[in-house]
Amino acid sequence: MRISIVNPNSTRSMTETIALAARQVAARGTEILAYQNDAGPVSIEGHVDGALAVPGLLHALAIAERDGADAHVIACFDDTGLEAARSVLKGPVIGIGEAAARMASLVARRFSVVTTLPVSVPIIEDNLARSGLSTLCASVRASALPVLALEADPAAANARISQEIGRAIEEDGAEAIVLGCAGMANFAEDLSQAHGVPVVEGVSAAVKLMEAAVALGLKTAKSGVYAPPLTKSQGFAYPAGMMTDRPASA
């Protein structure tokens, strides 16, 4: 099977880290196709960055499906463009935020998310509520680290995230931790050993969930909210590659 993983931002080194993390957990016979949104911001921190990233992200996902991807992973913890992606792709799609939270819910009654900047906290909280997982989340904590700082000084970033994990366990009763950024993919094993709790990072979780979905022959439903968009009249056209299988609107 082929699984695409798309970095919605334009930072090449982060794309490479994400692709490596995905390939390390992929089963034998799973090919990881990695893509990057070269038209996107260098990092996604808040609603504005997320909105700016969506058109390029959808274009990259359309290319991935044309390249034969059976399922897709959006490698941003904000699950940027997820609902739109499900509407224009045939194969199943998941964001690493939803994937990590769902995986954590399988191994702990209460988990906490440790993310980057405070601006991401309400976005993550809203996503957890939308996916029905908010009652299992003890807290969403910000480490006050910009996304690019995770690569600039990994040791310092790991230490700062570890401090916030300790507070989540001690103060919030977290039994598992979810790392709230794709750039934290390399930190999970060390942090789990340091704190003695499961630590879930979303890239690995998303790959394994999409492998399961493909193995079960699942496709995204197209009879309801994820129906492809109507072809618009008056000269409007969706970007090349997007599904527009429904008839034109009046």
For 126-138, the pLDDT digits (tens) are: 999 999 999 999 9
pLDDT of 247: 36
Q: Which residues contact 222 (CB under 8 A, 6 or more apart)?
A: 90, 228
SS3 content of the chain, % helix, strand, coil (to 5): 50, 15, 35
Task: Please compute the mean of the pLDDT values over residues 38-67 and round it to a whole number.
Answer: 94
At residue 250, the pLDDT reads 32
Confidence of residue 231 (pLDDT cuts 50, 70, 90): confident
pLDDT classification of 151: cutoffs 50, 70, 90:
confident
Across 88-111, average pLDDT: 96
pLDDT at 249 over 50: no
Task: Report the alpha-carbon distance of residue 199 to residue 175 in Å, rounded.
Answer: 9
Q: Do 192 and 158 form a contact (C-beta atoms < 8 A)?
A: no
Give, as one character, the DSSP assignment of residue 42: S
94 band by pLDDT with thresholds 50, 70 and 90: very high
Structure tokens at 88: 């224009």
Q: Are 129 and 159 in contact (CB under 8 A)?
A: no
pLDDT at 46: 92
What domains lie within the chain, and their CATH numbers?
A: 2-96+205-215 (3.40.50.12500), 97-202 (3.40.50.12500)
Q: Looking at the predicted structure, is the pLDDT value of residue 240 above 60?
A: no
The answer to whether 175 and 158 have CB atoms below 8 angstroms apart is no
Is the pLDDT assigned to residue 166 strictly greater than 90?
yes
Q: For the chain, what is the mean pLDDT? A: 92
Confidence at 195, pLDDT banded by 50, 70, 90: very high
Q: How far apart are CA 218 and CA 11, in angstroms?
A: 32
Comparing 160-169, 210-219, 231-240, the range with the smallest average pLDDT is 231-240
Average pLDDT estimate for 172-194: 94
Residue 56 has pLDDT above 90, yes or no: yes
Is 137 within 8 Å of 160 (Cβ atoms)?
Answer: no
